[in-house]
Chain A
């Protein structure tokens, strides 16, 4: 079983500044994936960044990076140089990482509403 906790219902940041969204998780899986999804007002969830738990190196995608602390079961998202288009709900999620495929879906946190102040 997996659980994901996002303790910040809402965060606000000035445009061009940096913001960090928190996420902690719990899983019984030895191999798993972690994700951050963005859900803008248009509703479709879009993958922002993903991390394989077996990789020690933190994933990075342009202005988005994660701080993956496996022992602490923490997976925070850092957004650098925030832009107005970053405003959205951000969901942290996990799934088992079975090799060869697997129908396991995602377990989501409750989300963090990110507001970008111009």
Chain B
């Protein structure tokens, strides 16, 4: 069964460094998402992406963050100048054209020291 894959599974970085988290969505899906889950807290929406542009973004998704789909398969989340509070699990998800169910990846754990 096709699934969303994410790399790396865990990344440790120093505060101020740039991080790129990668996702390969399910191939026939058209909508792509990034969510964040700080330890012990709820899953928070960051951004949605459709037709090679951002469709919607939350207040969390400020200028520090960017997304792109450089090659038609990978969907990346870039975090510039990481802060301690960026430490979290980052989940990628994708969705078919029919609205409803999102399929999630296993997540990338980011630890900022």
Contact = CB atoms under 8 A, between A and B. Distances in A.
Interface string B81-96: 0000000010101000
Interface in A72-113: 91, 95-99, 101-111
Overall SS of chain B's interface: strand
B1 to A, nearest CB: 11
B99 A99 contact: yes
B85 to A, nearest CB: 18
Interface stretch (A15-23, A42-50, A60-68): A42-50
How many chain B residues sit at the interface, stated as a range, is 20 to 34
B106 A106 contact: no
Interface string B40-61: 0111110011100001100000
Contacts of A50: 100-101
A54 B91 CA distance: 29
Nearest to A98: B99
B42 A33 contact: no
Interface string B72-113: 000000000000000001010100011111111111000000
